[in-house]
Structure 1
Amino acid sequence: MPTLHWIGKDKIINHHQEVPYKVLNHEYGFSENGKTETSIATGNLIINGDNLEALKSLLPKYEGKVNCIYIDPPYNTGNESWVYNDNVNAPQIKKWLGKVVGKESEDLTRHDKWLCMMYPRLKLLHKLLSKNGFIFISLDDNEIHSMKFMLNEIFGEKNFQAEIIVQSNKRGQTYKQIAKTHEYLICFSKSEISNINELPTEVGEYPYEDELGKYSIRELRNRNPKFGRFNRPNLFFPIYVNPKNPDKNGFCPISLKKDDDFTIEVLPLNSQKEESCWRWGTKKVEENITHENDMDSIFGKPKQDGSWGVYDKYRKGTVKAKTIWTETEMISEQGTSLLRNLGLAEVFQFPKPIELIKRVLLLGTDENSIVLDSFAGSGTTAHAVLNLNKQDGGNRKFILIEMEDYAETITAERVKRVIGGYADVEATGGSFNFYTLGEPLFDDNNNLNETVGVDKIREYVWFTETRSTKAIAKNANPYLGVHNDTAYYFIYNQDSLTTLDYESLASYIQQKAERYIIYADNCLLPETFLREKNIEFKKIPRDITRF
């Protein structure tokens, strides 16, 4: 498989492993009842901080659990008039590049910089995505081809789903020699077992209705020129129509036998009167004539040229998404208009239209999915999640990450207004917790950073061991909990070294389990005793898992 190379790639290809794990500091919770200092029992998060570090901080709890990722990263247009620097020359990025890539970073083109910035973020997003999940990325033609190469490398070429053209500007960007009217939405799955959803059909696509509900009609003739009487002779046979008994739509009964009522013979012929074939055989046609399968009843209907055709009722409520989206609700102006209604348009330009994100959610989520947006911007993704939940009664959860200062004043503020209602728009309800990035869990010498607090350390150890979200008791007791018949203990003292010996074993280990994992600074118990009692000793901090 062809791969993409750029200056600095060798420095950042495994950089996601070196990113420090930082704790998340809870700042406040928000619900329909307003703001609270205590954490709210919700799966919705808004995080203010560098998204590379924030993604790393999500790993213990969310690795392999995010069902759908949507990101709208910098397009790398070279335009510095946006709210964020779109030419990847933001001070934070330049400082990071200098530290990670080294002196070589001074010679990077803006494309090299962009690739260095995106690659480790994509690696962490891949880790967070569930095995049947999808990632959708909005971009324009500045970096879409580079992104495709990176995604092929990280997600696998076989997991490419689509490169969708989205009409974002009907008039076109007239300052270019050819007025550009579109952007791209590229989609990859985590694995080949992922099945993308179909979209709900529009009302106009089902113009007919009977006692079973709405339906459209499809010609029973197989319209694929690869099939015909020449290779499907069993699907070439006459069907007879009774023109004397049409229903209110002009649909007439059919039969496989000709008699005094069923007098019009219909053969599967194309518009050139060439022989093709039916999509169904005689057995299935007979079953539907006798209404053993009411969902697929068939009938005859005259065509405009005076000939007759045979049709079946089509009731499927979904349709495959197309690779070109030209609907008016997808254009960029719609996002700006909505933000104006929220009272936030003057402080944030070019937000994504909510219908674009909603369609992404329809394709990539179910009613209980976790949705992640690590370039959250104005918070359109959370808005779309809340709206869709209100529409279909779902319980989707959102995680937003925004590094800029407006994470509180725009991103979170928008979500608050959506939850509580704004202008003449009804409240969606819901809640979220707002976090900032805290201190790293490990210092530069790979020792525990005790300034983060023992509770954060205990919580991290539990998550890394169990991948469980159970709350850990905030006390000095070494006992963390039991998971899958294994009891976990973290014997730790901020002021002195701890030792696992017979005395500490008798003092602390009260919970019976089939197996024990016990953390301490040292262990004086014999290996034979540990094996006999099914105890695994792990040394602090050496054996604490690093993400």
Structure 2
Amino acid sequence: MANNNTPLDQLKGFLNQLFQFDSQDLDFGVYKILHYKRKEIANFIDQLLVDKVKEQLQTLSADESKQIKEQIADLEKDDIIKGWLEAEADEKKTLEKFGKDKINQYAALKAKATEATVSVETENQIYNHLTLFFSRYYDKGDFISKRRFGKNEKYMVPYNGEETHFHWANHDQYYIKSSETFNHYAFKVQTLDGNLVVNFKLHNAQLEQGNVKADEPNFFLLADKAPEIKEKDDSELNFVLANKQPDVSEKEITIYFEYRPLADDEKKKVKGNSKQDNLDEIAFEYLKKELSTNPLFANLWKEQEGKPLLLKKLQHYTRKNKHDFFIHKNLKSFLERELDYYIKSELVNVDDLYVTDSDTHFDRLKHNLKTIKVFKSIADTIIAFVSQIEDFQKKLWEKKKFVLNTEWVITIDRLVEYIGEEAAKPILEEVIKNEKQVAEWKELFGEYSKFESSNDFFDSEKIHLNKLPIDTIHFDKGFKNSLLNAISKKNDLENVLDGLLIKSDNFQALSSVRPKFEESISATYIDPPYNTGDDGFIYKDAFKSSTWVTMFQPLLESNKDLLNDFGALFISCDEHEELALGQLLNKTFGENNRTEKITWNKRIPKNDKGIGNIHEYIYLYCKSKEHRKANDLSFVMRKDSLEEVYEIVKKAKSSGKSIREAQSILKKYYKKQGFDRGITLYCELDENYEIWGKINMSWPNAKTQGPRYEVINPVTKKPAPVPNKGWRWKEDTFKAAEKNGSEFILPDGSMMKGRIWYANNENTQPSSITYLREVESFLLRSIISQKSDGGITLENLVLQDKVDYPKPVKLIEFLLYSTGVTNGYFLDYFAGSGTTFHAIQNLNNQDNGNRKCILIEQGNYIYTVVIPRIKKIAHSLEWNVGSPVKPVGGGNGIFFKYQRLEQYEEALENIAFKASEDTLQKALEFDQYIPKYFLEFETKGSQTLVNTAAMQDPWDYKLKVWDGFTYDTEQAVDLVETFNYLIGLHMQKCITKEINGKKYQFVYGHNNANKSILVVWRSVKDWSLEEYKADAAALKEAFKAFAYDLLYINDQAHIEGYQPIEEVFRNKMLS
């Protein structure tokens, strides 16, 4: 069927598609903003662009053109004009003398008519080029360089002449998709009995190879797995919104989908361009047929805004996950650059440069240049408009995010250690009265959480109770403040903190923590999605690898800035993105800082078809390899199984075994394991049960002789035998070794004298003493073998949720140990099941290190897996099928905090519009204001962009947040912790007190420049002048307890030298 639309109609249709006016179902994200200005934008498309083209081409309107044609027709009826038109050349000259005015009028009208015809054609040509140019880049909410086929290249690649250059299609964009609503989408429906929760969940599906072609688009299809109906579990939601109470009666249905290309037989069933809409309707009809007889689902079939509710939600789910993958970092620059290239390659004809003397040649050239000028002018206007929208999205994406809530977890033993037994008793009395806290203990620790009273926590026979964790999520703000007050009295909060967990998109979290942790991280380990197609990573169709690289690039840039000069980065990957990742790492860190691509032998194949794949890769890069080398800091690895060796001796000692018995146990273990001499040589124990070995003291060179001198055996009091080739050491070195330590008689009667061992007989030569810990490490190897048993570890912990493909704890221990760093911060921003935190705790337990861990994870299993896992291993390091392995309560204890950050979608939801009443704005409405400025001016004062007027009560600054179903819930955010991140504050003390009947919070700490900082928060809402005066006196008294270089106070204060928080807050959040 022929397309009868004019070029203008086609352009309007494309622009309506670009601004998504053709789909009211796209009511999320930036589309809400576009729909807010729908009337003005539609007027811009329908009227302004056309007027501009006509104005610049000086095109006649349709009425003017019709009028000219009528005038020409009237003149052609005139006898003079009729005769002139029919006359020969000589006769024309005669007639022109008598009818000059009429003939000139006719000629002028004909010229205008001809020019009008040319202008209309030119106008249509411009509309065609505008549609063609912008359609090259726009695709479902994104501006990208879509693949085009042709004889000549269609795009320019920015390139500065490097020997090699790594480029990908989306190199100048941010990846903004979240896998959360991709893997799990939910909404609530009211029923007669309460609420029904409807879940859409992805179910992995594998199609036979060859059944689909490469790079085919993916679609959402109903899975073969039947829908499941059950009672709703609200435990996860309670973590998301701390004070959210579960509904009285709630059931849920889970409907499973697959996301994959269509198989050949499925393609025959789904026709047309809107295949996903077609599939949504097929799914809806199937579900209605299967479920409509159950009254529980009656409201799913009721219409909402012209569609059945279930179909509307289904289309919302699929469209949201098929649109808006990227935000351009500089869309205006990108489109302007591409526009210049388009003009040069598509509109400028090189042959026109060969000038002839023909007037028509110059006329044509002039006409073409005018056409190009008008085309560029209109294109620039559209570019300004779409860039305004894109830049606004970028502003929301890049801005620092609010901390929505902060919770603290501390085990009882740590609490007692930090504040003392007497101070801890009243707190523990309050804790054991909290039913939610006690119920959580029972769920996590079963019989090992039983107690009669708070006195049991101090009973040495019930030491396992000391490791029960107190989580402030179960308590009110007053309890939290009292807890921090108590710990702050004698401790530096961050110094005693073991770690930090952040629930957030990793880009947002890294951006927010950067001012605080810049150049502070000792090492990073991450296990990102491998982009296999079934690992939960959502990519734009036909841009699979490019999407993945785009996601990663800004994360690596941030990671590099966070590492200290000794810092190292470990990244797990497999063959899917190995090459692209290596190129990206070289581009970010520099090829000179590439240290190794480690091959991890997992020992167990990951598939059962074809060749058994038993390896993955781990890239290792340094912040500065040269800096590590200059400080003689190598990457090392421990001899295999040393953890087990140390643990055997540790258990023997703790169970009261003698040194002789412990040595016997150790030697039997060596024999059973079949270790080589590199370990079995070290089979002796000193008085502290430290493992050591005897090293031969003979001169090692067969061709020369070593020094000879007399050595008296302190056991026999007689000279010891001298080796045939002499001693290994000089005499003074030998004597120094004897003095390097104490004397100790071993169970067999021999003696350790410093670093020399003497037998209890006259015939045995002395040996030097070397401890196993001194030789346990050697240079890191490029191939490591470690069993892939991360899933077994999680199964033994018995956690609420399941996480796919968890890494083994031993592997992460191995990698982090290799850095040679035993304190400082370690980062993982693809935290998954929390294996990195687990590994850090194990390492600290093994070598008494003081490593701290920062985890970032966007999945809700941070609440159902990661936090419970940390609580369990803090109690006991080893677990078996949900029960702690002896020694029960043998964990390290824990003190950490976890936070949830505002997300990009929440920032969009908190945009509030206020139309300007400015008359100048009205005058510029269609020429400048709408295309360029309306978003900037009309969104000022939105909460997410910092509404300083709303900060008078810092504990009541609210945002609309995602509650798992909608953005309808308003929640007070944590301005205090948000500001700490903005100014890079390491919080040493947080003290909340009441002064003059009003709440004050004093936050004290330092920044990375080692400046001491005091931040004061108080609610000043509706304060009088007298209250401000009383406030000044109170603050001056309170400041006597602090020594500070910088002072911040919210709102105004009658205090010298302070900085108002509000402007600093706004500037740093939006910078």
TM-score normalized by the length of structure 1: 0.66
In 2 relative to 1, CA 493–418 (structure 1 residues): closer, same or farther, beyond 3 Å? Answer: closer
1:463-489 CA-partner distances (Å, limit 9, x unpaired): 544643234556787987686677767
> What is residue 550 of structure 2 aligned with on the other side?
116
Residue identity in the other structure for 1:468: H
Q: Which structure 2 residues correspond to residues 180-195 of structure 1 after superposition, within 5 A?
A: 180-191=613-624, 192-194=626-628, 195=633
SS in 2 for 1:184: strand
Say if 2:814 is the partner of 1:359.
Answer: yes
> What is residue 98 of structure 1 aligned with on the other side?
none
The one of 681, 684, 689 aligned to 1:208: 681
Say if 2:963 is the partner of 1:468.
Answer: no
Q: How many angstroms does 1:65 deviate by?
A: 2.3
In 2 relative to 1, CA 238–326 (structure 1 residues): closer, same or farther, beyond 3 Å? Answer: same
Aligned counterparts of 1:130 and 1:164: Cα–Cα separation in 2: 22
Q: Which structure 2 residues correspond to residues 292-441 of structure 1 after superposition, within 5 A?
A: 316-327=774-785, 330-332=786-788, 334-344=789-799, 347-364=802-819, 366-421=821-876, 422-425=882-885, 426-427=888-889, 428=891, 429-438=893-902
Q: How many angstroms does 1:137 deviate by?
A: 1.2
Q: How many angstroms does 1:419 deviate by?
A: 2.5
Question: Is the contact between residue 206 and residue 215 of structure 1 (CA under 8 Å) also seen in structure 2?
Answer: no
Q: How many angstroms does 1:55 deviate by?
A: 2.2
Q: Which sections of structure 2, spanning at least 5 residues, go unmatched?
A: 1-161, 175-327, 330-393, 412-467, 485-496, 646-674, 687-691, 709-720, 739-753, 757-766, 877-881, 912-938, 956-973, 993-997, 1024-1028
> What is residue 36 of structure 1 aligned with on the other side?
472
Aligned counterparts of 2:470 and 2:1047: Cα–Cα separation in 1: 42
Question: Is the contact between residue 354 and residue 381 of structure 1 (CA under 8 Å) also seen in structure 2?
Answer: yes
Residue identity in the other structure for 1:199: M
In 2 relative to 1, CA 478–420 (structure 1 residues): closer, same or farther, beyond 3 Å? Answer: closer
SS in 2 for 1:76: coil
Q: How many angstroms does 1:211 deviate by?
A: 9.6
> What is residue 10 of structure 1 aligned with on the other side?
172
> What is residue 671 of structure 2 aligned with on the other side?
none
Q: How many angstroms does 1:127 deviate by?
A: 2.7
- The structure where strand makes up a greater share of residues is 1
RMSD: 4.9
Say if 2:601 is the partner of 1:167.
Answer: yes
The one of 26, 41, 60 aligned to 2:406: 26
Question: Is the contact between residue 832 and residue 857 of structure 2 (CA under 8 Å) also seen in structure 1?
Answer: yes
SS in 1 for 2:807: coil
Q: How many angstroms does 1:124 deviate by?
A: 2.2
1:156-213 CA-partner distances (Å, limit 9, x unpaired): 333222211111244464424x432101111222223233453344465243358993
In 2 relative to 1, CA 460–220 (structure 1 residues): closer, same or farther, beyond 3 Å? Answer: farther
SS in 2 for 1:45: strand
Aligned counterparts of 2:800 and 2:978: Cα–Cα separation in 1: 39
The one of 442, 454, 462 aligned to 2:954: 454
Residue identity in the other structure for 2:987: T
In 2 relative to 1, CA 366–123 (structure 1 residues): closer, same or farther, beyond 3 Å? Answer: same
Aligned counterparts of 1:239 and 1:404: Cα–Cα separation in 2: 66
Residue identity in the other structure for 1:436: R
Question: Is the contact between residue 218 and residue 313 of structure 1 (CA under 8 Å) also seen in structure 2?
Answer: no
Residue identity in the other structure for 2:902: G
Aligned counterparts of 2:616 and 2:698: Cα–Cα separation in 1: 36
Q: How many angstroms does 1:71 deviate by?
A: 0.8
Aligned counterparts of 2:409 and 2:783: Cα–Cα separation in 1: 37
Q: How many angstroms does 1:134 deviate by?
A: 1.8
Question: Is the contact between residue 489 and residue 517 of structure 1 (CA under 8 Å) also seen in structure 2?
Answer: yes
Q: Percent identity?
A: 25
Say if 2:497 is the partner of 1:77.
Answer: no
SS in 2 for 1:369: strand
> What is residue 199 of structure 1 aligned with on the other side?
637
Aligned counterparts of 2:410 and 2:828: Cα–Cα separation in 1: 19
Q: How many angstroms does 1:132 deviate by?
A: 2.1
Q: How many angstroms does 1:292 deviate by?
A: 5.8
Q: Which structure 2 residues correspond to residues 487-498 of structure 1 after superposition, within 5 A?
A: none
Q: Which structure 2 residues correspond to residues 98-177 of structure 1 after superposition, within 5 A?
A: 108-171=542-605, 173-176=607-610
Aligned counterparts of 2:1063 and 2:502: Cα–Cα separation in 1: 29
Between stretches 401-410 and 536-545, larger displacement belongs to 536-545
In 2 relative to 1, CA 292–434 (structure 1 residues): closer, same or farther, beyond 3 Å? Answer: closer
Question: Is the contact between residue 77 and residue 142 of structure 1 (CA under 8 Å) also seen in structure 2?
Answer: yes
In 2 relative to 1, CA 491–141 (structure 1 residues): closer, same or farther, beyond 3 Å? Answer: same
Aligned counterparts of 1:514 and 1:341: Cα–Cα separation in 2: 49
Aligned counterparts of 1:183 and 1:68: Cα–Cα separation in 2: 20
Aligned counterparts of 2:820 and 2:782: Cα–Cα separation in 1: 20
Aligned counterparts of 1:545 and 1:381: Cα–Cα separation in 2: 30
Question: Is the contact between residue 163 and residue 323 of structure 1 (CA under 8 Å) also seen in structure 2?
Answer: no
Q: How many angstroms does 1:380 deviate by?
A: 1.4
TM-score normalized by the length of structure 2: 0.36
> What is residue 179 of structure 1 aligned with on the other side?
612
Aligned counterparts of 1:30 and 1:486: Cα–Cα separation in 2: 26
Aligned counterparts of 1:148 and 1:363: Cα–Cα separation in 2: 21
Q: How many angstroms does 1:410 deviate by?
A: 1.8
In 2 relative to 1, CA 318–164 (structure 1 residues): closer, same or farther, beyond 3 Å? Answer: same
SS in 1 for 2:596: strand
In 2 relative to 1, CA 171–545 (structure 1 residues): closer, same or farther, beyond 3 Å? Answer: closer
SS in 2 for 1:454: coil
Q: How many angstroms does 1:323 deviate by?
A: 2.8
SS in 2 for 1:123: helix
1:296-317 CA-partner distances (Å, limit 9, x unpaired): 99xxxxxxxxxxxxx9987642
Q: Which sections of structure 1, spanning at least 5 residues, go unmatched?
A: 95-105, 223-234, 242-251, 258-281, 298-310, 498-502, 524-532
In 2 relative to 1, CA 74–467 (structure 1 residues): closer, same or farther, beyond 3 Å? Answer: same
Question: Is the contact between residue 526 and residue 829 of structure 2 (CA under 8 Å) also seen in structure 1?
Answer: yes
Question: Is the contact between residue 826 and residue 851 of structure 2 (CA under 8 Å) also seen in structure 1?
Answer: yes
Residue identity in the other structure for 1:319: S
In 2 relative to 1, CA 486–508 (structure 1 residues): closer, same or farther, beyond 3 Å? Answer: farther
Question: Is the contact between residue 828 and residue 836 of structure 2 (CA under 8 Å) also seen in structure 1?
Answer: yes
In 2 relative to 1, CA 518–34 (structure 1 residues): closer, same or farther, beyond 3 Å? Answer: closer
In 2 relative to 1, CA 353–518 (structure 1 residues): closer, same or farther, beyond 3 Å? Answer: closer
SS in 2 for 1:396: strand
Q: How many angstroms does 1:291 deviate by?
A: 6.4
Between stretches 431-440 and 184-193, larger displacement belongs to 431-440
1:382-428 CA-partner distances (Å, limit 9, x unpaired): 22222222333333222222212222112222222222344242441
Q: Which structure 2 residues correspond to residues 496-507 of structure 1 after superposition, within 5 A?
A: none
In 2 relative to 1, CA 352–215 (structure 1 residues): closer, same or farther, beyond 3 Å? Answer: farther
Question: Is the contact between residue 506 and residue 829 of structure 2 (CA under 8 Å) also seen in structure 1?
Answer: yes
Q: How many angstroms does 1:354 deviate by?
A: 1.0
In 2 relative to 1, CA 398–237 (structure 1 residues): closer, same or farther, beyond 3 Å? Answer: same
